């Protein structure tokens, strides 16, 4: 991706920014001139990503538990003290756990809602006052194709991700005249730690090979491959760039044609 100054002077807050899609999003936004705060729970991962990307522009990192309103408030306060008001929010933090519905207990259900849905709620509420004050903003929710369709054995995860799509569409209408757009990007199976953990889980439970487990996960993608984090990041960056202003309330599948 070429460097540009299209987002110069803008501050982006990226959750789940220490690795995978979040780190790729941070890189893409830096390359367009934005100042970026990456956030998450793993201090080592955040520090490593910030150090790796420091040569591309201004980047900082803050610890946050998106499921906690007080943690989110503190993290946004720290981010503002360094880079000023938040102009762009990328709600990327997520967690996936699988279980048959009958074996899904309340703790798993609440954990999936807390990280995947309530986290987006907390962070959006924290970022929105800055955007309303400036009359410009971009909110991009990194969801999943699980927000657009159903998958077996991840009912809690699917329910949470469907909830984020509903939040996206509702808020997009509410803010449509405020200079703020709200969209979702929905990756299919992407080459991240979450998918590597899913493959390891399949191998452990079934005794199948890693290659066979990977083939199962990519079977639904017409391109028969995993999506790359950079491909998701490119979609996120485009929704933040000038010229994407009419994109609002959309849920873009980045999945090789899996969702048509």
**pLDDT for 201:** 83
Whether residue 200 is found in the same domain as residue 77: no
* Closest among 178, 143, 181, 187 to 162, alpha carbons compared: 143
Tens digits of per-residue pLDDT, 113-165? 999 999 999 999 999 999 999 999 999 999 999 999 999 999 999 999 999 99
Catalytic positions are 157
The answer to whether residue 219 is domain-embedded is yes
Residues 6+ apart with CB under 8 A from 174: none
**Average pLDDT over every residue of 206-217:** 90
Whether residue 116 is found in the same domain as residue 203: no
* Closest among 223, 251, 127, 230 to 180, alpha carbons compared: 127
Whether residue 196 is found in the same domain as residue 234: no
**pLDDT for 202:** 84
**pLDDT for 104:** 97
**pLDDT for 54:** 97
**pLDDT for 197:** 83
User: Percent of the chain having pLDDT more than 70?
Assistant: 99
Whether residue 173 is found in the same domain as residue 85: yes
pLDDT classification of 111: cutoffs 50, 70, 90: very high
Q: Does the structure show a pLDDT above 80 at 1?
A: no
**Average pLDDT over every residue of 73-85:** 98
Q: How far is CA 162 from CA 153, 169, 208, in A?
A: 15, 11, 31
Q: Across the strands, what pairs with 13?
A: 37, 89
Instruction: With beta carbons less than 8 A apart as the criterion, state whether 246 and 18 touch.
Output: no
Whether residue 101 is found in the same domain as residue 162: yes
The mean predicted confidence, pLDDT, of the chain is 96
Q: CATH code at 16? A: 3.40.50.720
**pLDDT for 2:** 67
Whether residue 202 is found in the same domain as residue 135: no
Whether residue 111 is found in the same domain as residue 136: yes
Whether residue 108 is found in the same domain as residue 205: no
Whether residue 63 is found in the same domain as residue 150: yes
Tens digits of per-residue pLDDT, 13-54? 999 999 999 999 999 999 999 999 999 999 999 999 999 999
**Average pLDDT over every residue of 215-239:** 96
The answer to whether residue 92 is domain-embedded is yes
Instruction: With beta carbons less than 8 A apart as the criterion, state whether 38 and 28 touch.
Output: no
Number of structural domains (the chain) is 2
**Average pLDDT over every residue of 241-259:** 97
Whether residue 175 is found in the same domain as residue 213: no
Rounded distance, CA 76 to CA 91, Å? Answer: 13
Q: Where in the chain does DSSP place strands (E)?
A: 11-15, 35-40, 59-63, 88-91, 137-142, 180-187, 251-254
The answer to whether residue 1 is domain-embedded is no
Residue-number span of the structural domain to which 214 is assigned? 189-226
Instruction: With beta carbons less than 8 A apart as the criterion, state whether 119 and 93 touch.
Output: yes
Whether residue 71 is found in the same domain as residue 108: yes
Encoded tokens for 149: 């369709």
């Amino acid at each position: 991706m070429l460097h540009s100054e299209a987002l110069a002077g803008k501050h982006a807050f990226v959750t789940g920014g220490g690795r995978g899609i979040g780190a790729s999003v941070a890189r893409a936004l830096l390359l367009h001139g934005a100042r970026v705060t990456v956030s998450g729970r793993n201090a080592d991962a955040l520090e490593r990503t910030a150090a790796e990307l420091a040569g591309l522009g201004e980047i900082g990192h803050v610890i946050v538990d998106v499921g906690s309103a007080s943690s989110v408030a503190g993290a946004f306060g720290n981010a503002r003290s360094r880079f000023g008001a938040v102009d762009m929010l990328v709600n990327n933090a997520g967690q996936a756990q699988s279980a048959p519905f009958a074996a899904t207990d309340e703790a798993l259900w609440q954990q999936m809602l807390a990280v995947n849905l309530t986290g987006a709620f907390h962070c959006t509420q924290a970022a929105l006052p800055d955007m309303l004050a400036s009359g410009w903003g971009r909110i991009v929710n990194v969801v999943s194709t699980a927000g657009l369709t159903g998958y077996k054995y991840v009912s809690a995860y699917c329910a949470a991700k469907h909830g984020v799509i509903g939040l996206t569409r509702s808020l997009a209408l509410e803010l449509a005249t405020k200079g703020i757009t709200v969209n979702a990007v929905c990756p299919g199976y992407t080459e991240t730690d979450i998918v590597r953990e899913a493959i390891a889980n399949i191998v452990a439970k079934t005794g199948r090979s890693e290659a066979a487990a990977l083939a199962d996960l990519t079977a639904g993608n017409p391109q028969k491959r995993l999506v790359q984090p950079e491909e998701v990041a490119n979609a996120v960056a485009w929704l933040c760039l000038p010229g994407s202003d009419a994109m609002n309330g959309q849920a873009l599948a980045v999945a090789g044609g899996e969702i048509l």
